[in-house]
Amino acid sequence: MNRKIKFIGNTSELGAGTRGSSMGLDALKIASFSLNKNFFRTYKVEQIPNLNDQLFEDIKTNTAKRLDGIVEMYNRISDAVGKAIDKNRFPVVIAGDHSNAGGTIKGIKEALSNERLGVIWIDAHADLHSPYTSPSGNVHGMPLATAISEDNLECQVKKPSQTTINNWNLIKGDTQRVKPEDLFFVGVRSTEKPEDALMERFSIPNVKVPELTEKGAGYVAKMALDHLKDCDKIYVSFDVDSLDSSISVGTGTPVPGGLSEEQATQLLIGILKDPRVVCLEFTEINPVLDNKGNVMAETAFRILEKAVNQIEKTIKA
């Protein structure tokens, strides 16, 4: 059975601190009309039902906001991603906010339970917080902590309610989905002390943009793949705030000093040449915050289109 790409749309933005990332997929579709109007005709998108109506409700848990809804979204996301992999599909997930990535990882591991999973995290942020450490309580800063099942109590600054702890334990699951040594960061440049402590404790590599500029995106792709040489499968998460803030205005947390469009494209192409990659996720496109029209989504679409072309080549090789 030939392997095919499966697009999954996940418009949940329960984990973000600003509104609008739920419209990221629509912004990409609008961008495609002028750049390649056949793209979404070729790649039909399966939509995961969201719970964004909960955004109108009062926040009950400040240490991990809307975590009860995110528990349910994890289940919905993991079910869709897992089913796609079970059917020999390569999921390309277009997500709202980055909290959803934890659900994607859950789905990959449930489908490939006996495989060792590596993660390449292309982002301005480490997203290693927990309800015990997060300064904001926004769960889009916590997905990797759920993946490595890490509370980071050594750096605890918050006291979550028992309800929050119960829900947090639900999204962490019973077992560690990813080993900390199987994480590889690219472009991370905005972190807090609890995250820095984990990165140091677990020796998580982080190639910052000046190093990537010096060595080249292709070289860094090889670095990442070499670091994950003992992994059976690889998941790649691309947060558009990994791009420089001159480009990534249309995202919730833009940070200066990021990747150029060309660097991001070449990095993803280099990574996606490896047949161990089983899932790619694009996240945090927020057209509401884009003061340049739809530039963020247009940039993201160009990167996505080239990435998908490479996936097609790799799965057919």
Residue-wise pLDDT for 200-240, tens only, equals: 999 999 999 999 999 999 999 999 999 999 999 999 999 99
Q: What is the mean pLDDT of the chain?
A: 96
pLDDT tier at 252, thresholds 50, 70, 90: confident
Under DSSP, the state recorded for 249 is T
- One-letter amino acid at 127 equals D
| Contact in structure between 234 and 120 (CB atoms under 8 Å) | yes
Question: Residue 248: enclosing H or E segment and its boundaries?
Answer: none
Give the DSSP letter of residue 259: B
pLDDT score for 299: 97
Strand order, beta sheet including 89-95: 45-48, 4-10, 89-95, 277-283, 233-239, 117-122, 183-186, 206-207
Residue 1 has pLDDT above 70, yes or no: no
Number of domains in the chain: 1
Q: What is the pTM of this model?
A: 0.98
Residue 278 has pLDDT above 80, yes or no: yes
Residue 151, judged by CB atoms within 10 A of its CB (0-12, 13-18, 19+), counts as: middle
What is residue 2's predicted lDDT score, i.e. its pLDDT? 81
Phi, psi at residue 234, to the nearest 5°? -135, 135
The per-residue b/e assignment along 77-105, b for 16 or more CB within 10 angstroms, e otherwise, is bbebbbbbbeeebbbbbbbbbbbbbbbbb
Distance between CA 84 and CA 273 in Å, rounded? 20
SS3 267: helix
Tell me the residue ranges of DSSP E strands in the chain.
4-10, 45-48, 89-95, 117-122, 183-186, 206-207, 233-239, 277-283
Q: Do residues 291 and 249 make contact, with C-beta atoms less than 8 angstroms apart? A: yes
What span, in angstroms and rounded, lies between the C-alpha atoms of 270 and 147? 24
pLDDT score of 251 more than 90? no
| CA-angle at 147, arms to 267 and 51, nearest 5° | 95
Q: Considering only CA atoms, which of 163, 143, 156 is closest in space to residue 68?
A: 163
Q: Is the pLDDT of residue 194 over 90?
A: yes
CATH of the domain at 276: 3.40.800.10
pLDDT (tens digit, 9 = 90+) per residue, 55-104?
Answer: 999 998 899 999 999 999 999 999 999 999 999 999 999 999 999 999 99
The parent domain of residue 152 ranges over 4-316
